Copies of this chain bind each other. A is one copy, B any other.
Amino acid sequence: MSEVAGRMSVQAAAHHLQSSSGGAGLLLGGVPGTPAAKVTIIGGGVAGTESAKMALGLRAIVRVLDTNAARLSYLSDVFAGRLDLVIPNRARTAAYVAESDVVIGAVLVAGAKAPKLVTRDMIKRMRPGSVVVDIAIDQGGCFETSRPTTHSEPTYIEEGVVHYCVANIPGAVARTSTLALTSATLPYLVRVATHGVAGAAARDPVLAKGLTTLGGKLVSRPVAEAHGLPYQDPATLLPAGPTPRPRS
């Protein structure tokens, strides 16, 4: 669903930047002869990358902030020079937020609370009618000014800036999201149906990672740690399966 949220975030930003929706009245890409809007995306993971594709697609000027040098190198390769890619520090983040028309928070840390990378002070310095979208809102949000909203009332204004913080962004495009979810999970279901839980997990390390209990044992380390219960490595419980086949 990160991919849906990433793509939707730009569509939402473009819509709420319209004067007819209470925004600054800007077209993301401008038109030839007027300057394009500036979009800053915080986080270059799956969600941020899909945001970047859409923002470039609408012809904005796009900058992605991420601290992972290997990821930036990959993004430089595949976006062929169209993205400005920056390792941020607090001062740079403040400066970029201040000059942006749209800021998208895409800092997702699996299973953890998102860090508050953008402070109220930074938001305050944005031009009135600018738009921020907090994709990380279901993990607490990465803007200090974020609070969850819903599709029926998706935005509020704080410090003059339109905040779009819908907690369930994929719900806006229900049909695409359902297709994406069922398509992504179907292959796992088929494997479980064919080989049973243990057999499927033995064949597929990704599935194995998703196990919580197996044969009555607790095999999820975070859960074990959180509850002070004994943990068992699932590898010791799985049958020795056939080597997974490479694809070519």
CB within 8 Å of B: which residues of A?
2-4, 7-8, 11, 14-15, 17-20, 24-36, 45-47, 49-50, 53-54, 56-59, 61, 63, 67-69, 71-73, 75-78, 80-82, 84-87, 89, 108-112, 151-152, 154, 171-177, 179-180, 183-184, 186-187, 221-222, 243, 245-248
Q: How many copies does the complex hold?
A: 6
User: How many Å from the CB of A10 to the closest CB on chain B?
Assistant: 8
User: How many Å from the CB of A235 to the closest CB on chain B?
Assistant: 15
- Would you mind naming 11 contact pairs between A and B with Cβ atoms under 8 Å apart? A3-B73, A11-B14, A11-B18, A11-B28, A26-B173, A45-B247, A54-B59, A57-B59, A71-B247, A77-B78, A109-B245
**Residue among B7, B35, B172, B184 making CB contact with A20, cutoff 8 Å:** B172
* A172-B18 in contact (CB<8A): yes
* B175-A25 in contact (CB<8A): yes
* A19-B175 in contact (CB<8A): yes
Task: Report chain B residues within 8 Å CB of A26.
Answer: 173, 175-176
- With known contacts A34-B87, A50-B31, A54-B57, A171–B3 Cβ distance under 8 A: no
